[in-house]
Amino acid sequence: MKHKRRRTIIKMGIYIGVIVTVAFLIGFYLLQLRIVAFQDEQADRAIESVRTAMTSSQEAADTIEHMIEQQLYTSSKGIMNDLRGRELDSISKKELRQLAERWEVEEISLWQREADDIVVKQSTDDSQIGLSSKDWGYWYTAFDQLMSEEDVTVDEGYARDNFWVGPISRAELFDYIYYKFAYYYDGTTDFMVNAFIKDEDIYNVTFESGPSDMISQLEENHDVIEEIAVVNGPAYLAGDDHEVIEPATDIPVLYGHMTLDVSGDAGRIEAAVEEGEVQSVEFEHDGASYRKLFQPLEQDRVIVIALNLDTENEFKAQFMWLYVATGALTLLLVVFALRSVAKKVDSPNSES
């Protein structure tokens, strides 16, 4: 009878130990799920904030850009009126400079057909003379349509009668300076007027402020958010030799920064663009733990968010030790209680 009771008590101890262990594992698993959910929630809020900033910034940039385009249309038409009836050879650089000042544009170039090309023949800037557009893709298409007195049908830029202005772009001969280039041709001359201005306002609103400011605030105010970048998928995947001509399509990292580079980032960005699904990876860097999310956006763009896992890992470790200590204490109390019961069972006064 004593041995039977002792075996029963041992079984009870084992059952209680199993229950404590299972409870610990379930609790730890639920904690892990809650931490991941918290991280995802922080990431989702950050993504939505950046999306909103991008939309607001784009709307502001579009408004400024349209005003500049209308200004360029007025200036281009005015310059053409002033030059109408003139032979290109009779127009001097000095005269173009005076017209540029009068119509408040940065520079003026005059383009002319030359065989199967359209080339700059006169300009306020000597470095522009002789510039060819034959290999400029849709820009050349727009030039050819203008000088053929056809409607400009390219999808990029802004067009109206006798006029086309390209998207914000870097000058062919000037690094790190961005312009709006406008082109006017109405068939009354044998040259096309090209007036252009520096486009710092649009560039700053679109690429230097707005989303970039929002990203800085998110990184500063949220410990879990290490860094955020809005990546232009095709430009990023093109590699280091990629040339930036049009910022909106050619800058690899449009907003924020991406310094925590991980092997395979390019593949995950490519997968996010092609599959339209969030990609993720966990990694270590300088002794810290991170989780990186790749959220696809419209226009082949991807928001990359690096989450710092150290705080959550510390919390998990504290929870684990607390749970282990609590479980161990519980087991000790159970063992103590069972031993007390076992002693009573083994005492001479107990039943035989």
Distance of CA 127 to the CA centre of its chain: 35
Distance of CA 62 to the CA centre of its chain: 19
Compute the distance between CA of residue 231 and CA of residue 215 in angstroms, rounded to an integer: 13
**Local structure of residue 285 (DSSP, 8 states):** E
Counting every residue, how long is the chain?
Answer: 352
Of 4 and 333, the one with more pLDDT: 333
- Predicted confidence band at 154 (pLDDT cuts at 50, 70, 90)? very high
Calpha distance 26→28 (Å, rounded): 5
pLDDT of residue 220: 86
pLDDT in tens, 102-127: 999 999 999 999 989 999 999 998 88
Residue 261 CB coordination number (10 Å): 10
Q: Quote the CA–CA distance of 230 and 273 in Å, as a whole number.
A: 13
CA 164 to chain centre: 29
Asked if pLDDT for residue 12 goes beyond 90, the answer is no
Please determine, looking at this structure, whether the domain spanning 63-199 carries the CATH number 3.40.50: no
Contact by Cβ (8 Å): 93, 126: yes
pLDDT at 345: 57
Give the pair of three-digit tokens for residue 84. 């109408």
Q: What is the pTM of this model?
A: 0.67
Is residue 96 within a helix (H) or strand (E), and if so which, with residue range? helix 93-102
The answer to whether the beta carbons of residues 250 and 244 sit under 8 Å apart is yes
Cα dist from 238 to 87, 142, 232, whole Å: 45, 26, 10
Average pLDDT over residues 328-350: 63
Which residues in the chain are classed under CATH 3.30.450.20? 223-308
Residue 331 scores a pLDDT above 80: no
235-271: per-residue pLDDT in tens? 898 877 667 777 778 888 888 888 887 788 999 999 9
Q: Given this model, what pLDDT does residue 130 score? A: 94
Q: Quick one: which H or E segment has residue 71?
A: helix 2-83
Neighbours of 33 (CB within 10 A): 10
pLDDT > 90? residue 144: yes
Look at the domain 223-308 and name its fold: Beta-Lactamase (3.30.450)
The residue that leads in pLDDT, 131 or 329, is 131
Angle between helices 2-83 and 211-221 (to 10 degrees): 160
Q: Is the pLDDT of residue 28 over 60?
A: yes
- Distance, CA of 337 to CA of 347 (rounded, Å): 15
pLDDT of residue 352: 46
By three-state DSSP, how is residue 349 classified? Answer: coil
Q: Which residues pair with 281 in a beta bridge?
A: 292
Average predicted confidence (pLDDT) for the chain: 82
Model pLDDT, residue 315: 59
Contacts of 12 (CB under 8 A, 6+ apart): 338
Q: Which amino acid is present at 23?
A: A
